Structure 1
């Protein structure tokens, strides 16, 4: 019964958070050095950062128009991600940290898919929040990971991505390096085996997607595509493997 309650709570949190993501994704989906969007496509001011991607310029009784990502599928995806994490990790204290971070990773994926950008306003605070959150979780009974390995994992994965960025800046964005810091902390928590698996799977997922584009004739060898969602998918898989193993 306890696991059912935890999973249900995680799903409810994910759905609620997913409903709030579309407006933030729309506002953040701009080119580098461009100001964040503050108006809908019709030119009406957007109130706040979180909420549905719906605009009622004439007031509550006026006709509304939608923009950006649909809230139904962002809520469903966030609920599924959080539910799976909650169900696998159960009552371990790190579950709260990972479930809380899942909608932020989804938001990063939405922005990266839209404009191939991972904003610093999300990546760097996410890395800090994960490090602090797991540091707190490590002090509680039932924690199944290592905070020192998490910190080391973040530094090593970010360093590896930095080397790749320096070797081929056209094929690897610096935002990926910053995201790697957060994902490395996440993967390092359950040890270096999980870290290696999650890092490898991120590259594998991206390579399979790129190969699919080439085979379909939708891309060439030099075509770039957003890599952040595949990094996040690899890290999620690694955390699930670590949770099962623990």
Structure 2
């Protein structure tokens, strides 16, 4: 298991490097394939040995090799975060006897990191990432159901996607200023992933997003000069709530059962 987690962590670091490109280029409508990675200041292509996730930044001591400009730490934070989340999500999936669902969960995790970064930057959850994820994740969960024979979970996942999408759509229609349609479209993916596990996981993940968003929003309003006008993107909290639900649903259910 340790070797598997090490390999998954390395995969996460590599994918995190690609997610940096996605976060930077997708909102601008640029290709994520070409041109190759290059210095944002002088345009010089980045050498392969300097493009190793996290290690390249440490090797260069946070400075660009071509023009000695400071390299933003956020690029390597994305890499490290993706690697760490890949390890944690895989570990939790194995604990829950959900090894077959690991490819779907890691795909969702990578998507969540990319969408969170973009939402923080430009306050959008691009359709070009969200919409293709529906058939992709559905196919991965269908494959997981085929391997495990758990077709009931697949059916619940599809229903979960519809239910959470419907709830978010209702909120957006009732209070348009408080819920963007990007969040609505993303909510179905959250419902698909959490519905695979259980209805309890879906409920916990949905409420966790709003609780985390409210707590952070209060802090931001308290410290921001904009006060109540300060905007906090909701996408990152949807992702955080969904991933958190994988850990807290069972303990929470146990506490409520024994009350």
Q: Any conservation in 1 of the 2:221–2:229 contact (CA below 8 Å)? A: no
In structure 2, how many angstroms separate the alpha carbons of the residues matched to 1:233 and 1:52?
31
Which of 106, 123, 126 matches 2:130? 123
Task: State how many pairs are aligned.
Answer: 231
Between Structure 1 and Structure 2, which shows a larger proportion of helix residues? 2
| Structure 1, gaps ≥5 residues long | 31-35, 39-45
| Distance change >3 Å, CA 59–CA 116, structure 1 → 2 | closer
Indicate yes or no: 2:70 matched with 1:63: no
Q: Which residue of 1 aligns with 2:143?
A: 136
Once the two structures are TM-superposed, the CA of residue 57 in structure 1 deviates from its matched residue by: 3.2
Once the two structures are TM-superposed, the CA of residue 139 in structure 1 deviates from its matched residue by: 1.2
Q: Any conservation in 1 of the 2:38–2:44 contact (CA below 8 Å)? A: no
| Distance change >3 Å, CA 72–CA 58, structure 1 → 2 | closer
1:49-107 CA distances to partner (integer Å, 9 max, x unpaired)?
78576566356799356887733211100001100011111261001210132112100
Q: Which residue of 1 aligns with 2:83?
A: 79
CA RMSD of aligned residues (A): 2.9
Q: Which residue of 2 aligns with 1:28?
A: 26
**TM value normalised by structure 1:** 0.82
Q: Any conservation in 1 of the 2:118–2:125 contact (CA below 8 Å)? A: yes
| Secondary structure in structure 1 of the residue aligned to 2:228 | coil
Q: After superposing the two structures, state which structure 1 stretch, 137-146 or 51-60, moved more.
A: 51-60
| Structure 2, gaps ≥5 residues long | 48-64, 254-259
| Distance change >3 Å, CA 54–CA 152, structure 1 → 2 | same
Q: After superposing the two structures, state which structure 1 stretch, 180-189 or 67-76, moved more.
A: 67-76
Q: Which residue of 1 aligns with 2:211?
A: 204
Q: Which residue of 1 aligns with 2:169?
A: 162
Q: Which residue of 1 aligns with 2:58?
A: none
1:107-153 CA distances to partner (integer Å, 9 max, x unpaired)?
00000000100000111112221111111101113869700110000
1:156-208 CA distances to partner (integer Å, 9 max, x unpaired)?
11111111111122221110011101111001011111100000001111000
